Amino acid sequence: MSYQTLYRRWRPQAFAEVTGQEHVARTLQNALEQGRVAHAYLFCGPRGTGKTSVAKILAKAVNCLNGPAREPCNNCSFCQDIGASRLLDVLEIDAASNRGIDEIRELREKVRYAPVEARRKVYIIDEVHMLTTEAANALLKTLEEPPAHVLFILATTEPHRLPATVVSRCQRLDFKLISFAGIMERLRTVAGELDRKVSEAALQIIAEEAAGGLRDALSLFEQALAYAESDVTENDVLSVLGSVGRDVFYDFTAAILEGDLSAALLIVNDVSSAGRDLQHFTQQAIAYYRDLMVVLSCREEAELLGIAPEWADRLAGQGKAMGLALVARALSVFHDLSAEIRWSTRPRLLWELAVFRLLGIGGETLPGLEQVTQTGKTDTGKRAEEAAETPDLRQMSRMWPRILEQVKRESIQAHALLLEAELCGCAGQVLQIGFKSDFHREMMEKPEYKQLLGTAVKTVLGYGAGVHCTQLGSLGKDAQEKKMSQEEIVDTAAEIFGGKIMANDAGR
């Protein structure tokens, strides 16, 4: 007998075995009992939440020799053949590889013929959103008025990509992400049946990583079982995932709260040196600070929202020390980091820069966290607080490419104008930008463009700044001396994004 993966071996065979989709199971069971089974269903929801499994259970229920009934018997020849994908009258079609109009025309021809053996023909069309527009249109008439012996079950992870004409001809059932508790319960059951000892912490890590998908959880569990020589421990699961334990983030957050730059950077160094994927490490950081936010916001219901009970108290203590404002700002920093690190060739540098931002080095201070000096110790003096709120030309120049990118997301026109500008100086909390062309300067003087630039500065650097536009020829001597050279700006941009400066013979 060939080996079956866990998610296939433990695929539910009856509605009562379906995890986390009680609303779907109840709807279908009532329809079977009342003889009101629709001619076409549309199952929508994230991957690994049971859409195809429920479709096969429904196919068994309508064709069971002891039914139709609320549950298939799973003993008759039809139930067993459908479960093993052997029955000719139940067809599973992958719309991703059979997406053209010719395949749908062929299906329409076959629909007219009566079932060979079973009571009803059942067509399960998976990833139906992959059908071409022509193919979807060709399916419309059949969906609207199919023969009485045909049942269509369409499954998709992206219902918004389906034409409204297709959706309107089906009874739609939405599958939801499976709860943390539901996945944990299922994993415990599987571990017990396999007679393998698995630590609770290991199961919790798998359930968190699965993010609501039971199939993903079973796949990860199977990897951990194969990796571990006997009992499955927390370290076994972390090794399989390439992850780090929560203790690492607890220590990292403690270093941030204490203003200990050295300790925070050493933690990043240890993670990088151990060969961990820093992109995944970033996602773990987001998950950890999300848990801090959840515990702070709803302490009593934290476990229902996926917080392990033994971690709830530790998170509550650390979250209270941080406060919601700091947790939210840290989440913002890590969210920005996750977007940048995906394409970076120097992910460790980006993480170190994120640490600087968290500690307020370079002028940016998180709410609730005091400015950190070059010695790595917190400075409670008023001057540090003022420095954190005052734009610095050097810092502004280093972050200018990111500010421009932020502007580009909101307005292509404003971005094009700023490409013609030069960063000239910071007077108080006013950003000075110069233009060679008077036309470009006048265009940038529009209030909406200046406000857009000020907002971009606040998004990237954390503090607001006014905008003053001028022509380069009208700048005073002091401003000219403070202005960064074009080469210095290019060098800084190359340093931030890990790029190389290519020689341009045409411009030399």
SS3 5: coil
- Domain membership flag for residue 419: yes
SS3 263: helix
pLDDT tens for residues 118-127?
Answer: 889 999 999 8
Mean pLDDT of the chain: 80
pLDDT at 140 over 90: no
- Domain membership flag for residue 503: no
Considering the domain architecture, whether residues 356 and 385 belong to the same structural domain is answered as yes
- Domain membership flag for residue 505: no
**Whole-number Å distance between alpha carbons of 425 and 391:** 9
Considering the domain architecture, whether residues 129 and 25 belong to the same structural domain is answered as yes
- Domain membership flag for residue 129: yes
- Do 288 and 281 contact (CB within 8 A), yes or no? no
395 dihedral zone (left: phi>0; alpha: psi -120 to 50; beta)? alpha
Question: Residue 360 belongs to what domain range?
Answer: 246-389
- With 0-12 / 13-18 / 19 or more C-beta atoms within 10 angstroms meaning exposed / middle / buried, residue 485 is exposed
Q: What's the pLDDT score for residue 476?
A: 45
Considering the domain architecture, whether residues 267 and 383 belong to the same structural domain is answered as yes
- Domain membership flag for residue 502: no
**Mean pLDDT for the stretch of residues 355-375:** 59
Write down which residue in 120, 154, 174 finishes a domain: 174
Q: What is the CATH number of the domain that holds 194?
A: 1.10.8.60
Write down which residue in 241, 262, 284 finishes a domain: 241
**Whole-number Å distance between alpha carbons of 18 and 468:** 62
Considering the domain architecture, whether residues 134 and 160 belong to the same structural domain is answered as yes
Q: What is the CATH number of the domain that holds 96?
A: 3.40.50.300
SS3 466: strand
- Domain membership flag for residue 483: yes
Percent of the chain residues past pLDDT 70, beyond the cut: 81
pLDDT at 377 over 60: no
CA 298 from centroid of its chain's CA atoms: 23
Q: What is the pTM of this model?
A: 0.63
pLDDT at 186 over 60: yes
Considering the domain architecture, whether residues 424 and 459 belong to the same structural domain is answered as yes
Residue 391: asked if its preceding bond is cis (omega within 30°), the reply is no
Write down which residue in 142, 157, 174 finishes a domain: 174
Q: What's the pLDDT score for residue 100?
A: 83
- Number of structural domains (the chain) is 4
| Residue showing tokens 């993903």 | 216
**Whole-number Å distance between alpha carbons of 391 and 398:** 12
Considering the domain architecture, whether residues 186 and 145 belong to the same structural domain is answered as no
Which residues does residue 174 pair with via DSSP β-bridges, in sequence order? 44
Considering the domain architecture, whether residues 278 and 261 belong to the same structural domain is answered as yes
- Domain membership flag for residue 504: no
Of the two residues 389 and 44, the one the predictor is more confident about is 44
| Residue 377: DSSP 8-state | S
Considering the domain architecture, whether residues 252 and 375 belong to the same structural domain is answered as yes
Considering the domain architecture, whether residues 220 and 275 belong to the same structural domain is answered as no
Task: Locate 127 and state its tokens.
Answer: 């990833």
Considering the domain architecture, whether residues 359 and 269 belong to the same structural domain is answered as yes
Considering the domain architecture, whether residues 41 and 101 belong to the same structural domain is answered as yes
Other Cβ atoms less than 10 A from the Cβ of 8: the count is 11
**Whole-number Å distance between alpha carbons of 41 and 54:** 11
Lowest mean pLDDT among 199-208, 342-351, 480-489: 480-489
CA 273 from centroid of its chain's CA atoms: 26
**Whole-number Å distance between alpha carbons of 463 and 365:** 9
**Mean pLDDT for the stretch of residues 274-280:** 86
Q: What's the pLDDT score for residue 175?
A: 94
Of the two residues 367 and 411, the one the predictor is more confident about is 411
- Do 177 and 208 contact (CB within 8 A), yes or no? no
SS3 336: helix
Q: What's the pLDDT score for residue 499?
A: 61
pLDDT band for position 171 (cuts 50, 70, 90): very high
Closest C-alpha among 96, 173, 109 to residue 139:
109
Q: What's the pLDDT score for residue 488?
A: 52
pLDDT tens for residues 414-469?
Answer: 888 888 888 777 665 677 888 888 888 888 888 888 888 888 877 776 666 778 88
pLDDT band for position 260 (cuts 50, 70, 90): confident
Write the DSSP assignment of 116-147 as a string of letters.
SSSSSEEEEEETGGGS-HHHHHHHHHHHHS--
Q: What's the pLDDT score for residue 305?
A: 64
Considering the domain architecture, whether residues 427 and 324 belong to the same structural domain is answered as no
- Domain membership flag for residue 423: yes
Closest C-alpha among 1, 7, 97 to residue 52:
7
Q: What is the CATH number of the domain that holds 278?
A: 1.20.272.10
- With 0-12 / 13-18 / 19 or more C-beta atoms within 10 angstroms meaning exposed / middle / buried, residue 187 is buried
**Mean pLDDT for the stretch of residues 86-115:** 86
- Do 152 and 143 contact (CB within 8 A), yes or no? yes
pLDDT tens for residues 302-313?
Answer: 666 667 667 777
pLDDT band for position 315 (cuts 50, 70, 90): confident
Lowest mean pLDDT among 157-161, 340-344, 393-397: 393-397
